[in-house]
């Protein structure tokens, strides 16, 4: 697997650029290709992935 780049978006998600595998709390492994965003604010309805709900007044930094 190639190296991935992780960027913390101010007041937003952690963005992973590059292929990765995400292991969910139930043990399921989700293979993601390209770009993946992980929620840092806790508001996403699709955790651990960002669904854009961080936008607005909520600050995570």
State yes or no: residue 12 binds ligand FES (CB under 6 A): yes
- Toward ligand FES, which CB reaches closer, 16 or 50? 50
State yes or no: residue 39 binds ligand FES (CB under 6 A): yes
State yes or no: residue 36 binds ligand FES (CB under 6 A): no
* Minimum CB distance to ligand FES, residue 18 (Å): 19
CA angle 20, 26, 31 (to 5 degrees): 20
Buried b (16+ CB within 10 A) or exposed e, 9-25: eeebbbebeeebeeeee
């Amino acid at each position: 697997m190639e190296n991935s780049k992780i960027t913390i978006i101010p007041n937003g998600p952690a963005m992973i650029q590059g292929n990765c595998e995400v292991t969910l709390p139930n043990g399921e492994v989700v293979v993601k290709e390209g770009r993946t965003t992980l929620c840092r604010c806790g508001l996403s309805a699709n955790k651990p992935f960002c669904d854009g709900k961080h936008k607005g007044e909520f600050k995570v930094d």
